[in-house]
A = this chain, B = another copy of it.
């Protein structure tokens, strides 16, 4: 143990061991400190669902704290971002940089990744480290990238151009660092779904083949022509491609028209095909993906819940002392632990948690209550400091005058909201009208001032710190939009009067801000608010999907850039030169691709590639895009587009839909978890609660006053001595994630005294153990 650890330092300031300052509580021995740190590491892992085994030597624990410090995590994400965005600067580049610069940056990133890996190797047991495929993946990728860099660099030096293939491997870093748990979980979910989906896919391809054969025989010899005058359905490979695209609906009904024009009855063939392959098979894909998603989600959640339990038991076993017949954690130890785990927690909040954990105020926390600690820390309790309005302190006479009270009552009235709803509607009509009319452009100033007056009035009525509370999403939204609009409008007017010229960018921003203001109307309608809240709620997990899509897009974009870059060029928005009309490639002469002016859909840089891939995800014109690129390169180019469709649409989009379905179902059966209810009960018991609805209806001040007057009331005044002047509120239950909900549901099924399976068993859970447990009416129908 290092000597600095035992030096006692500050006592009164909150203990923050994350900063490695190793401040120690008075009267504790080094051994006790050590134990406390270890237990705190376990609790912290449980709290954040971290799943990394670490060594328990003092040095390893200290390194582990450092490893989990937020600066380290931000740093590693920074390097991942730099590494991924290098593609913007490498040939084919959006902003070209010399090879030396990008390769230096890449080596720097690789060094950072390697350093992170070495750090990780120091905190985790050797065996575990080398068994973990994540670490092997990262190391192999680092080595491969270095080899590629060297080969490419040396060939470049002798002016031979080769392929930077290792760039497609870069997303490996994003996936495999332990911080990207969510993305990895989605990948695991996809991997687990693959065997099931493979058979459906084979059957689907078999069906496409059978139909292709039929089409070849039925239409091949008829001498039919497509609209472009090309032969219709004469080559089996073309037919398979066209029919595959028909599944995506991208070429319906064009692909049918020649046959349909020839003979009325042939449309039956296409209708049969569409019903079987587009509707039934695509639904079956969704069903298989969704079913697997649920199955594996349950398994993962179960694993997480047991791991959390396991870690909390470890922590308890370190800190426990025997009191009477049972093992408990003393209040003093509990306080120290909480301070180490959550150094920024406020005193009253800690006091509240202790009251909940030590129900009978016996001076110690028993095992069942101790195990809840990680959950308790995760529940965001908003500590509301009830203060009087600053104006009331500053000039009480004026603020409490009857005129002022009238204004306040007016602002709190429902009609005030309605009046502003009407103003927003009128504003919407004005926006829709032509703004070149000077009257209307003056009206904009009027509306802007009305909105500013609204905010000022509200700030006059409500306590500003409550108005801008952490969860007051719509207040923040309003104010930011208005201030931004004000700043942008003023800036624009200044520029306009100074230089007689409108800045297009600023005007665009002003317009968008002006229209975003209209969103406010949603808040006024209860049913809309519910839907929007659910959507905001699932927002964070949608970002996980963003990560997943980024990885897939990145790989496909790199491949696409290598294969297609420079083949199609966009030159001039007015399409005057003959070269611009064929997208700079004579092969595209008279093609639908050039005729529809798709030249900007190319793979000439990373941003363009991403946009093309986005268009492909929306599926339409898969044919047009694939056809265009097949013309300028080779027919095999179509495989790239079909491959992308299979990966993104059949797998990822279906998983996305499955996720949204699941999120809505969980939201429908949403109930408060046990732990949360316990906190709320305690808050109510102590008489320091505020109902959420009261907050939302803008009646905050009223209620606070009412409660404040009852505060010096009858019972249990000593109970509240630490909490006086403070109010608590469970942070909106609406903002909880699906994962958290599911985990709580599952935890409520584990008996409190249950130890759970061993660590090895937990890590090897398979969905089969769990599902179908007991198919009954409730869960199957």
**Chain A residues close to B by CB (< 8 Å):** 199-200, 202-203, 206, 210, 213-214, 216-218, 227, 236, 249-254, 256-258, 260-262, 264, 267, 271, 274, 278-280, 283-284, 286-288, 290-291, 294, 297-298, 301, 428, 431-432, 435, 508, 511-512, 514-516, 518-519, 521-522, 527-528, 531-532, 535, 542, 570, 573, 595-601, 607, 611, 614-615, 618-621, 653, 656-657, 660-666, 668-671, 742, 745-746, 748-749, 772-781
Contacts and interface: CB of A to CB of B under 8 A. Distances in A.
A360 B148 CA distance: 81
A298, A664, A773: most-surrounded residue (chain B CB, <10 A)? A664
A749 B773 contact: no
Contacts of A742: 777, 780-781
Contact of A203 (B213, B297, B531, B746): B531
A620 B253 contact: yes
- How many chain copies? 2
A527 to B, nearest CB: 4
Contacts of A210: 515-516, 518-519
B261 A217 contact: no
B518 A570 contact: no
24 contacts: A203-B528, A203-B531, A210-B516, A210-B518, A213-B431, A217-B435, A227-B596, A249-B618, A249-B619, A250-B620, A252-B615, A253-B598, A261-B597, A274-B618, A283-B656, A283-B657, A287-B661, A287-B664, A290-B661, A291-B665, A668-B772, A669-B779, A669-B780, A742-B780
Contacts of A508: 218
A535 B271 CA distance: 18
A435 B218 CA distance: 12
Closest 7 CB pairs of A and B: A669-B775, A779-B779, A287-B664, A283-B660, A217-B511, A745-B777, A253-B615
Contacts of A670: 775
Given A202-B528, A742-B777, 6 more contacts: A213-B518, A217-B514, A252-B620, A669-B779, A748-B776, A749-B776
B278 A618 contact: yes
Contacts of A535: 280, 284
B781 A666 contact: yes
A600 B261 CA distance: 7
Contacts of A258: 597
Contacts of A267: 611
A778 B781 contact: no
Contacts of A570: 261
B206 A522 contact: yes
B297 A781 contact: yes
